[in-house]
Amino acid sequence: NSNGNERHESTSEAPTLGMSNRLTNYGDADFSLFLRKAFIKGMGYTDDALSRPVIGIANTYSGYNACHGNVPGLVESVKRGVMLAGGLPVDFPTITLHESFANPTSMYLRNLMALDTEEMIRAQPMDAVVLIGGCDKTVPAQLMAAASAGVPTVQVVTGPMLAGSHRGTRVGACTDCRRYWASYRGNDIDEAEINEVNDKLVPTVGTCSVMGTASTMACLAETLGIMLPNSATAPAVYADRQRIAEQSGAQAVALAHAGVTPDQILTPEAFENALRVLLSLGGSTNALIHLTAIAGRLGIDIDLEAFDRMSQETPVLMDLKPSGEGYMEDLHRAGGLPTLLRELKPLLHLSAMTINGHTLGENIDAAVHLIDQKVVRSMQSPVYAQGGIAVLRGNLAPSGAIIKQSAASADLMTHRGRAVVFTGLEDLANRIDDLGLDVQADDVLVLQNIGPKGAPGMPEAGYIPIPKKLAAQGVKDMVRISDGRMSGTAAGTIVLHVSPESAEGGPLGLVRDGDFISLDVANNQLNLEVDNKVLDARRQSLKGEEGGAPLLGYRRLFMEQILQAEQGCDFRACRPEPTCRIPRQNE
């Protein structure tokens, strides 16, 4: 097929394997191309196949990752879409991350996955790439990579799992995992029942079925416009999910021809839309860190105070667990994310461009048919009137902290109490259930050293359990403060992401038992009522406690490079100087 050869060897702008600038350099461009073609032909390709736009597909299947259990089928569907549109699909592996199988934490490895993905996009010839992610850290890692690599990108998610059923009650990972475990701890259910429910919580492959981090990031990727419209919510096992994958493959070919790069999609307007939708979803607090990291790759900085103001004028409309009721499959049946976007239209930048060549506003109008549904509330009857996530500052959090108000107790929003301090995860595990622990219901639980560097990897341990002795008295919630994160599927009056973290010398590490802490969410304040002189003395006494074997490998890279929560916990070396701050005033 001479046609293919002509296109292949011509110097026209047709995007092909051979035309890519990113040739492995042997000092002789023609020889490099000759060698590359010789090797790939070992896979049985013809020159015709090799003359087509090459669409890379990041394959994140792993036997450890049930959230990605449908990836092999999705790869096939993406390939079909690529070929129907005249492209050549080539899948390649990258790291995959599952929340429960990523020791010490998946967050510790998110940046490794971002580096892997970014460099594999760069290293291998591809004119566009389809990234298949799903579990919490994978979509953030892939979008960070896409933003940095600058190759036309289509994001695809694996989709949520279906909800299960336990003795007639709908259950889903992992809000209900926590609920049942708490019942078991409180002796409300026996061992036979906790074992029975263990089989029901994850009834299919796919991502957690509530509005946790994975669902939140799927919705935000769709909002950002880097994923096809109405592609966030289709369950992993639905035929819809396969069709979305096929369409995404075809869209990648179109993007390759048009040369639409991620920076043309991931604009300040798009991120402002995503922040707005995050708030309206009652979405995971983790997503704020991830959005900050993705935006940071493009020189876009997130201004926490402006985000707090945006929060005050954004109602929570999504009635899904953990902020409300319902599971992702309910949202899908209710029309998917476009149902929410339609309701939020007055607050969105509708002219933001998306990967299908249409604006967000055009996509909303095209996607939504009015459905009688109960999952997405109207602006007039929100789940929570305003401020899903509030930003706190004060002498305990000079660089900021956050609280998910929509999942917290109203009566604890203004609170002053005595600190009960745990110095780390081990200390917490050793003492939290000690019946002799000196703790009362109106105390403030403080957990130190679970920040980005502290644990390391900022574990989702900010959901400090209620001490056993208080739980037995019926105490359900207390003010809890840490420099860590919380699962998107958890709820309570929990202050997170305190920055700077304890391990970086932040004031959180200087809190001692019996100090008074005051929380005032309405006024965005979090303060430690201890004299500066006393704090200075405590800081001095902390010095010189370090030591141990020198760090090597990824651990060393991580400790040298990791940034704090307000900079997305990205690596310093991956984040260019910011050129713009969002959300912008009066937007």
Residue 135 φ/ψ, nearest 5 degrees: -60, 155
From the list Mg ion, ligand FES, none, pick the one residue 36 interacts with, judged by a Cβ distance below 5 to 8 Å according to partner type. none
Q: How many Å apart are CA 191 and CA 182, to the nearest integer?
A: 13
Q: How many Å apart are CA 517 and CA 502, to the nearest integer?
A: 16
Closest CB to ligand FES among residues 67, 151: 67
Q: How many Å apart are CA 59 and CA 68, to the nearest integer?
A: 9
Closest CA to 154 of 124, 125, 121, 123: 121
Looking at 150-285, list the stretches that DSSP marks H as alpha helix, in order from N- to C-terminal side.
175-185, 191-198, 213-224, 239-258, 262-265, 268-281
Closest CA to 78 of 193, 246, 235, 207: 246
Two structure tokens written together for 428: 């917490």
Closest CB to ligand FES among residues 106, 502: 106
Could you tell me the smallest distance in angstroms from the CB atom of residue 308 to ligand FES? Answer: 27
Q: How many Å apart are CA 195 and CA 203, to the nearest integer?
A: 14
Closest CB to Mg ion among residues 102, 360: 102
Q: Is 176 in the site for Mg ion (CB under 5 A)?
A: no
Q: Where are the beta strands (DSSP E) in 401-485?
A: 401-404, 414-422, 444-447, 479-482
Two structure tokens written together for 264: 């043309």
From the list Mg ion, ligand FES, none, pick the one residue 487 interacts with, judged by a Cβ distance below 5 to 8 Å according to partner type. Mg ion
Closest CB to Mg ion among residues 212, 225: 212
From the list ligand FES, Mg ion, none, pick the one residue 231 interacts with, judged by a Cβ distance below 5 to 8 Å according to partner type. none
Closest CA to 349 of 273, 286, 418, 438: 273
Report yes or no: 268 and 584 within 8 Å, Cβ to Cβ: yes
- State the binding string over 302-321 for Mg ion (x if CB under 5 A, else -): --------------------
Report yes or no: 398 and 500 within 8 Å, Cβ to Cβ: yes
Could you tell me the smallest distance in angstroms from the CB atom of residue 3 to ligand FES? Answer: 45
Binding piece for Mg ion, criterion CB under 5 A, among 117-125, 135-143, 506-514, 518-526: 135-143
From the list ligand FES, Mg ion, none, pick the one residue 67 interacts with, judged by a Cβ distance below 5 to 8 Å according to partner type. ligand FES
From the list Mg ion, ligand FES, none, pick the one residue 457 interacts with, judged by a Cβ distance below 5 to 8 Å according to partner type. none
Q: How many Å apart are CA 525 and CA 343, to the nearest integer?
A: 32
Closest CB to ligand FES among residues 107, 466: 107
Q: Is 213 in the site for Mg ion (CB under 5 A)?
A: yes
> How many C-alpha atoms does 390 have within 13 Å on its Cβ side?
25
Binding site for ligand FES (CB under 6 A): 67, 98-99, 135-136, 173, 207-208, 212, 214
Could you tell me the smallest distance in angstroms from the CB atom of residue 105 to ligand FES? Answer: 13
Closest CB to ligand FES among residues 214, 306: 214
Beta strand 580-582 with 479-482 is unpaired
From the list Mg ion, ligand FES, none, pick the one residue 207 interacts with, judged by a Cβ distance below 5 to 8 Å according to partner type. ligand FES
- Buried b / exposed e across 254-265, counting CB within 10 Å, b at 16+? bbbbeebbbeeb
Closest CB to Mg ion among residues 245, 389: 389
From the list Mg ion, ligand FES, none, pick the one residue 135 interacts with, judged by a Cβ distance below 5 to 8 Å according to partner type. ligand FES
Could you tell me the smallest distance in angstroms from the CB atom of residue 173 to ligand FES? Answer: 6
Using CB under 5 A, count the residues that bind Mg ion: 5
Q: How many Å apart are CA 520 and CA 393, to the nearest integer?
A: 10
Q: How many Å apart are CA 96 and CA 74, to the nearest integer?
A: 15
Q: Is 242 in the site for Mg ion (CB under 5 A)?
A: no
Could you tell me the smallest distance in angstroms from the CB atom of residue 135 to ligand FES? Answer: 3
Could you tell me the smallest distance in angstroms from the CB atom of residue 139 to Mg ion? Answer: 12
Find the binding residues for Mg ion in span 136-155 (CB under 5 A).
Answer: 136
Could you tell me the smallest distance in angstroms from the CB atom of residue 132 to ligand FES? Answer: 14
Could you tell me the smallest distance in angstroms from the CB atom of residue 134 to ligand FES? Answer: 7
Closest CB to ligand FES among residues 116, 136: 136
Q: How many Å apart are CA 564 and CA 504, to the nearest integer?
A: 9
Find the binding residues for Mg ion in span 485-524 (CB under 5 A).
Answer: 487-488
Closest CB to Mg ion among residues 320, 360: 320
Two structure tokens written together for 308: 């707090």
Closest CB to Mg ion among residues 137, 170: 137
Could you tell me the smallest distance in angstroms from the CB atom of residue 546 to ligand FES? Answer: 34
Where along the sequence are the contacts to Mg ion (CB under 5 A)?
136, 212-213, 487-488
